[in-house]
Structure 1
């Protein structure tokens, strides 16, 4: 018991970065450019929910006294509820969270009502923007379908790569490894396996 207390006391806070881009092709280098970090977790996935491997790894990794840096709130989550839940979970754990773009920092026992209001307002605006984009996208697809010009998304993989994907899956290769090998998302892997 004393050993555990002693180990916990020796932990010196680390500077952790979390980076998220929506697709494999997007550049993630500018998000925390110039911020000195001890470790960075990077997801190439949508921010619609918290089911992201590197987000979960970061949440498991951080300890009391650590400081998390994120470029902006929408990089952590596009959902207001998820954004609040993640920030609350981190600060309850004793981890400080800084959003660089918004110039906001949240920490345990920090009851700054203005910062909380900004988190809720900016998070709600981000979620609203995402809803508008999705609505416009649906409207555009509906118009294109009505005009007979909508062909759907182009396949991410050619026929040979799709065959390789199915062979890897049949051999029991984990979906995340298949996605990484072929440079596509896990969602795309599942899509090809369903087709």
Structure 2
């Protein structure tokens, strides 16, 4: 679905543009805007915690007056109310429309539609609250795991140069791993990478 052209309408007639976001490369993007005919799709495979996403920026630069942006749901576009409002205002400011299909919401920049403005604030607040609750549960889980001695935190990064120096000095893979406090498999991977280079 990445930047796939579905039809060949000229840009002047107003294009149907899709924005798709998944948090990881492995997640499937196909179902988000299934069944909607789109001229171009912009797909980001990264977190939505902020607006710093390459395909989102590309879409905002690409869109022209009269275009319609299709998004599966609000959480695909933004994770907090401020970013959501800023993005909708940016899109409407270019005389473009944005549609959130799951919530059945359409924003055209018509400020006289007070019900949709209210819905935007309510839904954005709900998503923001939900995210803060998830983060709070994560913090609580980490605190419980630490108390039980089960939380080890993020794995420390491997200093490749130190690994290579140990191997060059004649240490075995096992002794190198023990010396640096890392897994033997990590040492093996670095060794193989160097041998292939």
Tell me whether the two structures share a fold, i.e. TM-score over 0.5.
yes
Q: How does 1:46-61 map to 2 (within 5 A)?
A: 46-61=47-62
Q: CA separation in 2, counterparts of 1:89 and 1:37?
A: 21
Per the alignment, residue 102 of structure 1 pairs with 103
Cα distance, 1:29 vs structure 2 = 1.0
Partner of 2:12: 11
Following the alignment from structure 1 to structure 2, what is the Cα–Cα distance between the partners of residues 32 and 97? 13
> Within the alignment, does 1:68 sit opposite 2:69 as a pair?
yes
Whether 1:117 aligns to 2:111 is no
Q: What is the CA distance between 1:122 and its match in structure 2? A: 0.3
* Alignment map for 1:162-181 (pairs within 5 Å): none
**Which one has the largest radius of gyration?**
2
- Aligned pair 1:31/2:35, yes or no? no
Higher relative contact order (CA 8 A, sep 6+): 1
What is aligned with 2:88?
87
Question: How far, CA to CA, are the matches of 2:100 and 2:114 in structure 1?
Answer: 16
Q: Distance in 2 between matches of 1:98 and 1:57?
A: 18
**CA shift for structure 1 position 153:** 4.9
Correspondence for 2:153: 152
Offset at residue 154 of structure 1 (A): 6.5
**Partner-residue secondary structure (3-state), 1:136:** helix
Q: Distance between the aligned counterparts of 1:75 and 1:111, measured in 2?
A: 26
Q: TM-score, normalised by structure 1?
A: 0.73
For residues 83-127 of structure 1, what are the alpha-carbon distances to aligned partners after superposition, in whole Å with 9 as ceiling and x for unaligned? 001001100101100000010111133521000100110011001
Shift of 1:27: 1.4
Q: SS state of the match for residue 97, structure 1?
A: strand
Find the aligned partners of 1:100 and 1:151 in 2 and give their Cα distance.
41
Structure 1: runs of 5+ lacking an equivalent? 1-9, 165-195
TM-score, scaled to structure 2: 0.73
Q: Which residue of 1 aligns with 2:42?
A: 41
How far apart, in 2, do the equivalents of 1:42 and 1:137 lie?
28
Unaligned 5+ segments in structure 2 are 1-10, 159-184
Q: Deviations over 1:110-157 (max 9, x none)?
A: 5210001001100110010000000100110111011111133579x9
Q: CA RMSD in A?
A: 2.4
Q: Secondary structure at the match of 2:139?
A: helix
